[in-house]
Chains A and B, each alone.
Chain A
Amino acid sequence: MTEPTIVLEAKGITKQFPGVLANDNVNFDLRKGEIHALLGENGAGKSTLMNLLYGLHNPDKGEIDVNGKTAVIHSPNDSIALGIGMVHQHFMLIPVFTVAENVMLGDESVKNGSLDRVAVAARITEISKQYGLDVDPNALVGPLPVGIQQRVEIVKTLYRNAEIVILDEPTAVLTPQEAEDLFRIMRDLTARGVSIIFITHKLKEVLAVADRITVMRAGRVINTVKPSETDSAQLANMMVGRQVILTVDKKDHEAADEVLKVEGITVRDQRDLETVHNVSFSVRGGEVLGIAGVQGNGQTELSEALTGLRRPTGGKVTIAGKDLTGKPPRIITEAGLGHIPEDRQRHGLVLSYSVADNMALCDYYHAPFSSRGVIQPKALDENSRKLISAFDVRTPSPFVNAGKLSGGNQQKVIVARELSRDVKLVIANQPTRGLDVGSIEYIHSEIIKMRDRGVAVLLISAELDEIMALSDRIAVMYRGQIVAVVDAKQTTREQLGLWMAGAHVETA
């Protein structure tokens, strides 16, 4: 067996940020044509390491070798010249530019002083064909689906002749189908000699596509393993540094009376298209109803209609016996709704408000937080301290702006606010999207706690695993309709997957 060629090697990398040792003597190597996964929780130092490789930061100590030679990487220009390309978690695309303009930016083809769009388009088409990355060079990027935008990012690196591609959390924004497509592209790329560093915190993906897995925790490399020699539990263990319960411990539980009753609801989106057609279901106290479905099948509009953010055009919503169809959010909240919204930064928090203020957003206007129309800072403070310790929110103080917290802790602030109140119904839309294993575990256990306490839970998620782990009953949404409602114990992943893809349902 021949020794594999090492295309990139980081030796003893150390990077200190104010207050954090982000990388502590990190060693990492990448072989030609492999997918090397870098696994770790948020804040483990994966992104720092990649930013050092890509030249966005400079290391304090250590050396980076590219193709066996010591490389000096001070800026993205240096790394691009060395054949390193990076696809960032938040896409670095300009929505008002076309695909071709985005791809050529920084490395423009110019003819007689003006942009040679034709040549660039031809080159993009050539790359598209070669690697099976279908994109239209003349399309505007903004309206493209996320999966296609990601392809544009990959084309961008290949356009610069990248031989090493860093993918930073590439699946965080993708639907399961888009993720599958990405994995196919990744395998195509490696088959053609491109080497890939795949950063993620999703265990299942790592085991499915990686050739080798390096796990980082708290700025250090814990171990490098092969997928065949490990399993999810061991990886999670290395990542978090303690035993992690991946399966949700859920006792059998008798459901009580109906809390949420939805009858024939119809909703239109902002473009005035009907995205939810005549949907009916109910959730009883003490049960979790999971709504499975590929993103964009009406789940967003449905949850908006149920929580008062959007007025349904037809149908009836009853919560605990009260008709709350089209009522404003405050009325619905007061009727006993806890809402964990889909977009935590836009609809869940006021990022420029303190943690303490955010924790009182639902009931700041009555006692004990307000007295005769005046906010009582002491009550806010006490409330937040109580919740911060009860829900294990990692924040330097209650006065820090919510925007400064990590995604997991932001979500915990929302969960603390919504679940600490006396609620009868919880609507949780994508409650763990983009979070690390530790936070996911915590939020799942909180949701189950609510259920065991007799609260009705409506869980909307595109993560099938999450739906299967938490739900008592599962409804599948497809093109704005509930196509199936089944008992969670009597169904399989495959069956749900078929329904999500629109397979015909005989029995509901």
Chain B
Amino acid sequence: MDWKRFGFIALIIIVLFGVVVLVGQVKQPPLLIITSMLATTIAVATPLTLGALSGVYCERSGVVNIGIEGMMLTAAFFGWLGAIYMFHIFELPADISIALGVLFAVLTGGLMALLHAALSITFKVDQIIGGTVINILAIGLTGFLNRQLFFGKGSVFEGSVPSSPGVLPTIHVPITELFTSVCGSSATCLQNVEAINRVFDQKPIAMGAIVLVFISHYVLFNTRWGLRTRAVGEHPKAADTVGINVTKMRYANVIIGGMFAGLAGAYFTIESVPSFEPLLTNGRGFISLAAMIFGNWTPIGAWAAALVFGASQALLINMQIYRDVIPPNWAFLQESYIVGLTPYILTMFILTGIIGKTTPPAADGVPYEK
């Protein structure tokens, strides 16, 4: 792997964490700050990680997907809507409604991806235009339905947004319990272990995303499916001449990618907060693409890059927590819109290619003509 790239990622993460520790140390011990920041980073990096994986599957098979943003947004809406319907109309238990909501989100992502696949593989529409269509469609569709289904005249909810069945629960990893006997009666030891435990106590999609990173990496580089996927993305004609169905491989990978984007959508409305706002994805689909590129189209690389963006978002959140203790000569850190720019500045910086050149799959974005 590319050490310059990973070194850069580590450096940025250390700098971002360092800023928070320097500001917050008057209030809390550094270990607590670092662990809570790490926990936030992993959580908020989740949709970016899944979005980047979505891009990896699509682009490794040769289809450019800038519609990830739209796929996420649509999935976030329909996942949330599905959960509410299951809960209020079909009166299913809350936990089952939530689980079905995640399923709806994943299927919605897959369906949006099917549309993108049809446009770009079968109809050979310019893939950038196809992705843009997906993004515009997503904004219009979710905005319109959000209005009509909840606030419209004929709405079953009669103009009031019903409460959602809630969010996915945090899964507790019993590290503290394991170490209780090790720590004995030392209170600081126990406190530290509890702090570290917080990093591992994540919600299911956040944990699943990390597992999926490693599974995807293995699949892509060590299985028949992965070899064929990369082959159709590098040189589809070569794949065709050895009897691989290029169209099928591309369709399948784009749809898989869409389902990853769908899961990212579920993160917003079913794992993070139980509500939907129009435009709530707020460009994270595009940042995912930057993470994919910076990760050189590999799942692990993309995840590392997603963590950088996650850390910069965690910085913003922490700066709000420690707002009152920010030293006067660092006053700009109080302005959330300045700190909020970090991910976008990083994106621009990373995409200039200063930190080593990345190489896209050779047939990325090129429709296959026999």
Contacts and interface: CB of A to CB of B under 8 A. Distances in A.
A472 interface: no
- Give the contact-size bracket for chain A: 20 to 34
A223 B244 CA distance: 36
B88 interface: no
A113 B244 CA distance: 18
Given A114-B218, A114-B223, A93 B243 contact: no
A108 B240 contact: no
Contacts of B362: 95-96
B235 interface: yes
Contacts of B224: 108, 110, 115
A282 interface: no
Given A114-B218, A114-B223, A115-B224, A56 B235 contact: no
Contacts of A80: 242-243
A76 B238 CA distance: 11
A188 B334 CA distance: 78
Given A92-B237, A113-B223, A115-B222, A97 B231 contact: yes
Contacts of B227: 97, 101, 104-105, 108, 115
Nearest to A160: B242
A298 B311 CA distance: 51
Contact of A75 (B231, B237, B238, B243): B243
Nearest to A96: B234
A76 B237 CA distance: 12
Contacts of B231: 94, 97, 105
Contacts of B222: 114-115
A451 to B, nearest CB: 41
A96 B220 CA distance: 14
B223 A92 contact: no
Nearest to A93: B238
B370 interface: yes
B218 A105 contact: no
A490 to B, nearest CB: 48
Contacts of B235: 92-95
A93 B237 CA distance: 9
Given A97-B234, A101-B227, A108-B227, A92 B242 contact: yes
B252 to A, nearest CB: 16
Contacts of A114: 218, 222-223
Interface in A93-124: 93-97, 101-102, 104-108, 110, 113-115
Contacts of A88: 241
A165 to B, nearest CB: 14
A56 B223 contact: no
A88 B240 CA distance: 12
Contact of A86 (B223, B230, B241, B244): B241
23 contacts: A54-B241, A75-B243, A76-B240, A91-B238, A92-B237, A92-B241, A93-B238, A94-B230, A95-B234, A96-B362, A97-B230, A104-B227, A105-B239, A106-B228, A106-B242, A106-B243, A106-B244, A108-B224, A113-B223, A114-B222, A114-B223, A115-B224, A115-B227
Interface of B: 218, 222-224, 227-228, 230-231, 234-235, 237-244, 362, 370
Give 6 closest A-B pairs by Cβ, nearest first: A106-B242, A92-B238, A77-B243, A114-B222, A108-B224, A76-B243
Given A92-B241, A97-B231, 18 more contacts: A54-B241, A56-B370, A76-B243, A77-B243, A92-B237, A94-B230, A94-B234, A95-B235, A97-B230, A102-B238, A105-B238, A106-B242, A106-B243, A106-B244, A114-B223, A115-B222, A115-B224, A115-B227
